[in-house]
Structure 1
Amino acid sequence: MASAQVTGSTVDRVRTGPPAGRSGRARDWAEIQERMLVPLYQDVYRRLDVGAATSLLGVGCRSGLALLLAEGRGAQVAGVEPDGGLRELAAARGLQVAPGGGAGALARSAHPVPRPAHSLVTVFERPPTPALIAWSAERTLPGGQLVVASWGPAERCESAAVLEVARRHAPLAAPDPFAAAGPGVLGALLASAGVRPSESGRVSCPFAYAGLDSAVRGLLSTGLFDPAEEAAGDAPVAAELAEALRPYLRPDGSVRMVNEFRWAAGTRPRT
């Protein structure tokens, strides 16, 4: 059984070279960025008592760290992820991850998931749109739980100033990472999919990096800057991102930003 021992504020010291470019984004996510959300995963799993009786499906699971943490608690885990590079990294970790549709199109995927329904379905790392939540609810067993998560309010996230770089250059139709941050929004999304909201939480997820270069790589690997890069070009966005990160440089050269993430869970009715 695979396992993971990490913390959300762990500083990445694996790679210190320049940004890897789009071809290296999947590995940048796995090596730098995904650990930043560990406090979120752990809070959900603790509150929902994830363990040997849990069959968990991670929707948009990326390279699978959240699945590894649930597996370490005894859960049976599987995932769905549209990005081929991220699926390869998840498979290298011994995880079963099915393809979805194109990026952002999981809700329209015709690919089968490893089993038809699960006792817990999580949407940690994809924007929680109504279509995606409805698709995920259909893969939740009656009596099972569905969890959705998002950034907290911009005023409680130091990374909001950095994400402004993406907003300035992205088309107007680009997703807003803070769209679900308002009071009750996540619960309303669950209710719209026929899931009864039951629990919620707020979690501090510090984003900590060894240096400016790794911070740029990590943030670009989230996909939040993709529309901006398509509109303005990769190099200008990376340069502007690096400049926006400078206020968060620490005396030792590391970068640290404090952020809040929020989650909500609901139960799919049995009838």
Structure 2
Amino acid sequence: MSVTETNAKTPAARSGEANGRIWGLRATDWANIQEAQCAPAYHAVLDKARAGSGTRLLDAGCGAGMAMSFAAELGADVSGIDASEALLDVARKRLPDAPLAHGDLEALPFEDHSFDVVTGFNAFQFAADPTRALQEAHRATRPGGKVFVMTWGAPETMEATALIAALKPLLPPAPPHANGPFALSEPGRLEDLAASAGLTPLEVFDVDTLWTYPDLATAQKGLGSSGVAAKAAENNGQDALDAAHAVALAPFRQKDGGYRIGATFRVLMTEVKA
């Protein structure tokens, strides 16, 4: 495989710059606290992908690189791309020998058919054009290879919905016809998106996770590290964000002062047909 230059003047690149900025504002807190809350989903996808020695894997929207680290431990040959230089700085420390590109999902700087597996952990839905982003994943995957798309599980079935909903009053008004955080969680939506990019849906599966924090301050830092939360803090201030999270977290406080919140991720496994 090879890495080429991404055209930074395209509309896709401009959307990547916006997402990269807000997701990079709390990169250290994300890497140290929140990223690990998603670890069970990373492991489940790598198991479905049968990632191992010789697997060429691209993590699209790789963030701080935890999923890639797990794949590398299994023997996979990993590469990554992300819009946030701050998150990539963490990933480079974790994986100093891996090819890691700063760029946009709609313009992957990799040659055709470079990978056996492409993963997108809560990534493709943040692209300005998710269909185009998946078309790029399709292009970069060999015939017979797999592309995985992860999003939130059904909101009515998970406790973490309360934490996601707490941000809505703090965010700027959404553009007309903008998708909400659970748009791809609805039955059939992931499959429709994949089909629009020429991918063949194979299986949808849910992964239950448990978010744990030892105290309120750690929970607020972890939950406040996402790009969406960073945008909420910019819009209404850090105090407002912390207060909203404190209220939403209150029902999940344990006797020892820690917090335990159930969250579900929904994953679509697709195949690139020959």
- Hey, what does 1:98 align to over in structure 2? 101
Relative distance call for 1:28 and 1:115 in structure 2 (3 A) is farther
- Hey, what does 1:79 align to over in structure 2? 80
Deviation at 1:116, TM superposition (A): 6.3
Q: Secondary structure at the match of 2:243?
A: helix
- Hey, what does 1:122 align to over in structure 2? 119
Q: Which moved more, 1:91-100 or 1:78-87?
A: 91-100
CA distance, structure 2, for counterparts of residue 89 and residue 217 of structure 1: 17
Q: Which amino acid aligns with 1:50?
A: A
The two structures, once aligned, show a CA RMSD in angstroms of 2.1
- Hey, what does 1:269 align to over in structure 2? 273
Deviation string for 1:93-137 (max 9, x for gaps)? 124311014xxxx3256xx24886211000013243323222222
- Hey, what does 2:195 align to over in structure 1? 191
CA distance, structure 2, for counterparts of residue 114 and residue 209 of structure 1: 41
Percentage identity across paired residues of the two chains: 33
- Hey, what does 1:204 align to over in structure 2? 208
Deviation string for 1:65-119 (max 9, x for gaps)? 1001111111110100111111111111124311014xxxx3256xx24886211
Q: Which runs of 5+ in 1 are unaligned?
A: 1-20
- Hey, what does 1:40 align to over in structure 2? 41
Q: 2:237 aligns with which of 233, 237, 242?
A: 233
Q: Which runs of 5+ in 2 are unaligned?
A: 1-21
Q: Secondary structure at the match of 1:58?
A: strand
Relative distance call for 1:209 and 1:151 in structure 2 (3 A) is same
- Hey, what does 1:245 align to over in structure 2? 249
Q: Which amino acid aligns with 1:117?
A: S
Q: Secondary structure at the match of 2:47?
A: helix
TM-score, structure 2 length as denominator? 0.82
Q: Which moved more, 1:261-270 or 1:218-227?
A: 218-227
Equivalenced residue count is 244
Contact preservation (8 Å) 1:150, 1:181: yes
Contact preservation (8 Å) 1:62, 1:125: no
Deviation at 1:224, TM superposition (A): 2.3
Q: Which amino acid aligns with 1:264?
A: L
CA distance, structure 1, for counterparts of residue 267 and residue 24 of structure 2: 31
